[in-house]
């Protein structure tokens, strides 16, 4: 499935707080998004319409470190969702959130909405690479 993922400014700000020791929650949750979204760095958790349907509501994902360029330079959060009974919804993307579920670390938009019905499964995997770059 074609998709676009970007980190958000809100996520970088939260990462900075974590490194400074003033925030206690890291990327952990995945939220499905069901209305039109803008996949850009300015997107915020408050600015998305979250799925609340049975089986698609925000949930903790599995957090691992993976390698993109350097060993363990990427945080990966993944979660398989199973659509609940009687549910029919189109999912347009997902976001990776902190454990408090109020900060959006990254957002992903699908090139086409995913029409889901009861019993369908969808697995969302968000990757956020920490890069070394010029100041």
Q: Are 55 and 82 in contact (CB under 8 A)?
A: yes
CB atoms within 10 A of CB 91: 21
Q: What is the mean pLDDT of each run of 10 residues along the chain (135 residues)?
A: 86 83 81 91 94 96 91 92 97 93 93 96 93 66
> How far, in Å, CA of 99 to CA of 82, rounded?
21
The reported pLDDT for the residue numbered 24 is 74
CA of residue 26 relative to chain centroid, distance:
12
Strands 62-66 and 74-82: antiparallel
The reported pLDDT for the residue numbered 57 is 97
The reported pLDDT for the residue numbered 135 is 52
């Amino acid at each position: 499935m074609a998709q676009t993922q970007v980190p958000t400014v809100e996520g970088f700000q939260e990462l900075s707080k974590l490194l400074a020791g003033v925030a206690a929650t890291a990327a952990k949750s995945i939220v499905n998004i069901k209305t039109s979204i803008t996949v850009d760095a300015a997107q915020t958790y408050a600015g998305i319409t979250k799925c609340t349907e049975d089986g698609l509501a925000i949930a903790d994902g599995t957090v691992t470190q993976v390698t993109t360029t350097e060993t363990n330079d990427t945080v990966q959060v993944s979660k398989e969702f199973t659509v609940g009974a009687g549910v029919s919804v189109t999912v347009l993307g997902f976001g990776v959130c902190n454990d408090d579920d109020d900060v959006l670390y990254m957002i992903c938009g699908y090139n086409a909405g995913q029409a889901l019905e009861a019993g369908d499964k969808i697995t969302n995997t968000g990757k956020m690479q920490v890069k070394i770059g010029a100041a």
